[in-house]
Structures are given as C-alpha cells and as structure tokens.
Amino acid sequence: MKKIQPFLKYGIIYGIISICISLFTFHVYYFGMLMQTLLSFGLLVLFHYFTAKDYKKENEGYLSYGETFKYLFLMSVIGFAISTIYVIIYMNYINPDASAFLTEKLVEGIESTYRTMGLPEEQILIAMEKMEEELQKEDRFSIGNMLMSFFSNLFFVVFVVAITSLIFKKVKKE
C-alpha cells in the first residue's frame, strides 16, 4: 500500500481541526473572531512545520524552497477547502441559525471595540445601525460568499506559505 503524501495527510488533519474549532465556537464557547483567527493562523504554521518535517525526512533532511512552497501551499488548500465545504454545508443546511448567532457576536464585538475606543454614544449608535443594515442585506455564508472567502484566504495563504517556506526549507551546501 502506498503511503499518503504528507501535504494531503496534514491538510486533512488541519481541515478537521478547523471544523472542530468552529463547532466548539458555535456550541460551547464563542471566543471571538480575533482569537479564532489567531488560533487558525497558529495551527496553519504548525501544520506547515509538520508537513515540511515529513518531506525533509524523506529527502535526507533537505527540501528546496520551491518544493517547500508547493507542499505547504497544497496542504493549506486542502485544509481550507475542507473547512470551507463544512461551513457551507453547516451554515446553509445543518444549522442556518448559526449565521444569526455569529452576526450577533460580530456586532457585539464591534460595539464593544467602539466603546473601548471612547467614541460618543451617538456615533456608536449610528455606526451600529449602518453595520446592521449592511449585514441584513447580505448572507455572508452563502455559497458564493464562502467561495469568495476561500479564494481570499488563499491569497493570504500565499504570503504565509512564502514566509514559512523560507523558514522550513533546507538546501544542501555545495
């Protein structure tokens, strides 16, 4: 039996862990978008490390920048694809009420930020009304919006992969 490629293995694991984080956020404890983003970013870098480590092990401890970039990017695409497909299915078919919950938490978070910044109450009310109107117009978790989010994330991932590839590559010295 042929061994599974590390980018595929760690991409699947990253996607599954992302799903678990989402489920935890929806059903156990909402720890905020910033914390969820930081956690996701940290896990992405961790799985970049695992992927590069496995490929280095296969190549006598060496891995070029180009190979590192390719494998880490593929791992990221697989993880984000799994996570995106899950969110589309969950938000549109399994639990459509989760969208309202997340929107409410987003509004609360932004309002809290405005208060912390010391904005006048009148300004906060105006800003919150505008934001709620905008959020009502658009379903952020529609299939089209989720696909746009997926490709936006990939654009961001290219930069992360470029940096982590520099860190995790190891070339033979001539």
Distances in Å between the alpha carbon of 68 and those of 30, 63, 100, 113?
35, 6, 40, 39
On whether residue 33 sits in a domain, the answer given is: yes
- The pTM of this model reads 0.81
> What's the pLDDT score for residue 112?
79
Q: Which domain holds residue 121?
A: 6-168
Domain assignment of residue 173, yes or no: no
- 3-state secondary structure (DSSP) of residue 138: coil
Q: Flag whether 131 is in a domain.
A: yes
1 domain residue, yes or no: no
Does 35 map to a domain?
Answer: yes
Q: How many domains does the chain have?
A: 1
* Residue 104: inside a domain: yes
Higher-confidence residue of 133 and 82: namely 82
Within-domain flag for 174: no
Q: Residue 110 CA to chain centroid, in angstroms?
A: 20
Under the banding of pLDDT at 50, 70 and 90, the label for residue 12 is very high
6: pLDDT strictly greater than 90:
yes
Between helix 65-89 and helix 6-27 the angle, nearest 10°, is 40
Q: Which two tokens stand for residue 83?
A: 């996570």
pLDDT reported for residue 144: 83
Q: Provide the CA 111 distance to its chain's centre, in angstroms.
A: 24
Give the position of tokens 């490709």: 151
Q: What is the mean pLDDT of residues 78-98?
A: 90
Q: 3-class DSSP state for residue 170?
A: strand
